[in-house]
């Protein structure tokens, strides 16, 4: 019997519901400790291709950092390592070209990816607009939105049998002729329920916005202008939709491509479902998160342990790229060409509470900055050491790392994931978000609704100074000002290769103009995108009179 891992009730519920192996009769066949052993054993096989690999030693180190809840890999790794599916990555981007073959090939691949618990992102920007010509049939095209519905229906159909309900990201460039329909579609809560949508905004668009000019809408098939729209009206239309329903989000395409480490391999057009991982078409990526709440020692940060966990995390994720199976040959080729990995953090808000630092304070930014700079620096050192033993990623030549003369095993090393499920397993706050509330209802993966009381609040609430602590340290997401949210996002984005999963929570009383201000600020800060969510906005049915259509 192995030493037992300290899991709270919700963590145990999630593990039993979705992660632990069962037989056909539904009887559990493994304990949580056996799950972590299975993962450690399977992932450490990635050491076998390295002449200096140390699979037995690494298995123990991997096992230890998972059972101590100091590091957890993304859900598909926990579910599938050492099991028949063997697919370990959470993030995928698939191409959608302007042909039926391409669209339906991607639908099929999407189904296979969702079956393994991975999420998929797509750019629909290459599809010809609604009512454009279809030569082969002399008919008219139905446009990107109608094809997004096809992916949505496929996701709906397979989600019952899969390990978790599928998640998708649909992206459309802001200069696509169907942009208005795309922006407004999710005001209807019955539409595209398995999709997050994001508008891909360019620098050129933002210039037009600043100068209050019109922008041309371009038909991607003919590359010719198919209409125009005033940039300020269009961005306001997006802000109004986000005000009403939390959708769409926006991504800043040029900022993303300025950070593309392999421009010689291709241009980035899309991200994974929650936006933190920009990827090339057919590329996938595995994420892993260090639990910051567990690195507090004697009221301070244990920097040595953080450094150690960063090195172990990089090694773990590089081994994952090695042992994972891939849903298609194209995905295997693209993923092993770049060997991107995404090491990040969870439990940032809990770390701050433990250190007595309010989330919306300069101290929080300073602490976050120190942490993420250490992780970024040490992850590059770790990737460099692996490159010296195992070789650099195959697309290294011509990459930004080649130009910087820094040998790397992985085209990227860092990403801040939402850690929706991982943070429940680890019993901590998610990603770099503030605590949602001291007490709230949560629907766990598997559909069970539970009451959650923040574990740190549970300990603090009987103290004589509880009220003051509540106001100062346990500030909930809606009490943190939008700009404090953005400042934390910027702090982490400044030292992360990929992107940061972050929601700017707004009070119910916020206006569309507040959201516009956030877009402009996020763009000026050099962020890669932003998602806003106004309290209680989902569930409202806002009637749209479509003044811009
Ligand atoms: P987890 O905590 O389960 O590891 P995260 O909440 O950190 O996952 O999300 C990381 C990424 O995993 C997402 O951006 C997305 O690519 C993928 N993902 C998350 N939830 C789902 C889901 N229900 N179905 C498919 N993929 C998902």
* Paired sense of beta strands 168-173 and 139-140, if any: unpaired
Nearest CA to ligand 1 atom 21: 167
Task: Find the 40 Cα to ligand 1 centroid distance in Å.
Answer: 21
165 lines ligand 1 (CB under 6 A): yes
Distance CA 466, CA 285 (A): 42
Distance CA 353, CA 487 (A): 18
CA distances from 392 to 126, 260, 339, 343, 399 (A): 33, 17, 9, 18, 11
DSSP state letter for 461: T
Tokens of 140: 């008219």
Distance CA 529, CA 198 (A): 9
Hey, which residues does 503 pair with through a beta bridge? Answer: 531
Output 134-138 pairs: Cβ under 8 A, ≥24 positions apart: none
Distance CA 298, CA 310 (A): 21
| pLDDT score of 160 | 60
Task: Find the 136 Cα to ligand 1 centroid distance in Å.
Answer: 39
Question: What is the position in ligand 1's atom list of the atom closest to the CA of 166?
Answer: 24
Q: Which of 119, 165, 271, 500 to mutate to test the pocket of ligand 1 (most atoms within 8 A of CB)?
A: 119
Nearest CA to ligand 1 atom 26: 119
Task: Find the 190 Cα to ligand 1 centroid distance in Å.
Answer: 22
Distance CA 536, CA 244 (A): 9
391 lines ligand 1 (CB under 6 A): no
116 lines ligand 1 (CB under 6 A): no
Tokens 């992932």 found at: 43
Helix count and strand count (H, E) for the chain: 20, 20
Q: 168, 272, 395, 410: which one is catalytic?
A: 272
Residue 351 CB-density burial (10 A; 0-12 exposed, 13-18 middle, 19+ buried) = buried
| pLDDT score of 543 | 26
Max Cα-Cα span within the chain: 76
Provide CATH code, domain 91-271. 3.20.70.20
Task: Find the 275 Cα to ligand 1 centroid distance in Å.
Answer: 10
Distance CA 1, CA 67 (A): 14
Rounded to 5 degrees, φ, ψ at 217 are -95, 130
Per the omega criterion (within 30 degrees of 0), is the bond before 529 cis? no
Helix H or strand E segment including 425: helix 422-426
Nearest CA to ligand 1 atom 25: 119
Q: Respond yes or no: is residue 285 known to be catalytic.
A: no
Please state the ipTM of this predicted complex.
0.93
Residue ranges, CATH 3.20.70.20, the chain: 91-271
Task: Find the 121 Cα to ligand 1 centroid distance in Å.
Answer: 12
In 266-403, which ranges are continuous DSSP H helix? 303-323, 329-338, 348-355, 362-390, 400-403
Cβ-contact 476, 436 below 8 angstroms: yes
DSSP state letter for 16: I
Distance CA 202, CA 132 (A): 24
Task: Find the 228 Cα to ligand 1 centroid distance in Å.
Answer: 37
291 lines ligand 1 (CB under 6 A): no
Question: What is the position in ligand 1's atom list of the atom closest to the CA of 276?
Answer: 14
| pLDDT score of 7 | 96
Distance of CA 477 to the CA centre of its chain: 19
| pLDDT score of 166 | 87
DSSP state letter for 4: P
- Give every CB contact of residue 294 below 8 A, 6+ residues apart in sequence: 68, 69, 70, 347, 426, 428
| pLDDT score of 136 | 80
Task: Find the 90 Cα to ligand 1 centroid distance in Å.
Answer: 6
Q: Which residue stretches of the chain have pLDDT < 50?
A: 1, 540-549
Q: 59, 181, 276, 365: which one is catalytic?
A: 276
Q: Respond yes or no: is residue 272 known to be catalytic.
A: yes
Distance CA 171, CA 168 (A): 10
409 lines ligand 1 (CB under 6 A): no
Q: Which of 164, 167, 423, 442 to mutate to test the pocket of ligand 1 (most atoms within 8 A of CB)?
A: 167
């Amino acid at each position: 019997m192995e030493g037992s891992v300290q899991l709270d009730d919700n963590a145990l519920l999630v593990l039993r519901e979705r992660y632990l192996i069962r037989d056909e009769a539904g009887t559990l066949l493994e304990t949580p400790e056996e799950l972590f052993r299975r993962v450690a054993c399977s992932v450490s096989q990635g050491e076998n291709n390295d002449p200096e690999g140390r699979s037995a030693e690494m298995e123990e180190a991997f096992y230890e950092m998972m059972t101590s809840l100091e590091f957890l890999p993304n859900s598909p790794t926990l579910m599938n390592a050492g099991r028949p599916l063997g697919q370990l990555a959470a993030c995928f981007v698939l191409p959608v070209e302007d042909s039926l073959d391409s669209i339906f090939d991607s639908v099929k691949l999407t189904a296979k990816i969702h079956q393994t618990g991975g999420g998929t992102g797509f750019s629909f920007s290459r599809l010809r607009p609604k009512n454009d010509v279809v030569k082969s049939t002399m008919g008219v095209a139905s446009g990107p939105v109608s094809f997004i519905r096809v992916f949505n229906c496929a996701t709906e159909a397979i989600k019952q049998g899969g390990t978790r309900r599928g998640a998708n990201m649909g992206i459309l460039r802001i200069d696509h002729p169907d942009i208005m329909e795309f922006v407004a579609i999710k005001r209807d809560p019955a539409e595209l329920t398995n999709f997050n949508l994001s508008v891909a905004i360019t620098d050129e668009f933002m210039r037009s916005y600043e100068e209050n000019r019109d922008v041309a809408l371009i038909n991607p098939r003919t590359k010719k202008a198919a209409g125009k729209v005033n940039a300020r009206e269009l961005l306001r239309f997006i802000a109004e939709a986000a005000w009403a329903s939390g959708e769409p989000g926006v991504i800043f395409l040029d900022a993303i491509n300025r950070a593309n480490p392999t421009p010689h391999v291709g241009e980035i057009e899309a991200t994974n479902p929650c936006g933190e991982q920009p990827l090339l078409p057919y590329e996938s990526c595995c994420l892993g998160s260090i639990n910051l709440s567990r690195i507090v020692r004697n009221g301070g940060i244990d920097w040595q342990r953080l450094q150690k966990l960063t090195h172990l995390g990089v090694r773990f994720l590089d081994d994952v790229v090695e042992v994972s199976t891939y849903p298609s040959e194209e995905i295997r080729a693209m993923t092993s060409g770049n060997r991107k990995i995404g090491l990040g953090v969870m439990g940032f808000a809990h770390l701050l509470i433990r250190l007595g630092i309010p989330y919306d304070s300069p101290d929080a930014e300073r602490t976050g900055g120190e942490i993420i700079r250490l992780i970024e620096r040490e992850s590059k050192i770790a990737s460099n050491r692996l490159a010296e033993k195992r070789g650099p990623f195959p697309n290294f030549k011509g990459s930004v790392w080649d130009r910087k003369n820094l040998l790397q095993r992985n085209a990227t090393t860092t990403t801040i994931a939402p850690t929706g499920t991982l943070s429940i397993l680890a019993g901590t706050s998610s990603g770099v978000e503030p605590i949602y509330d001291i007490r709230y209802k949560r629907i766990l993966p598997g559909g069970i609704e539970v009451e959650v009381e923040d574990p740190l609040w549970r300990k603090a609430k009987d103290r004589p100074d509880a009220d003051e602590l509540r106001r100062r340290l346990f500030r909930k997401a809606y009490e943190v000002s939008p700009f404090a949210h953005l400042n934390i996002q910027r702090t982490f984005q400044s030292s992360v290769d990929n992107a940061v999963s972050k929601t700017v929570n707004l009070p119910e009383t916020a206006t569309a103009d507040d959201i516009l201000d956030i877009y402009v600020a996020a763009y000026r800060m050099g962020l890669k995108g932003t998602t806003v969510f106004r309290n209680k906005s989902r569930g409202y049915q806002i009637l749209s009179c479509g003044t811009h259509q």
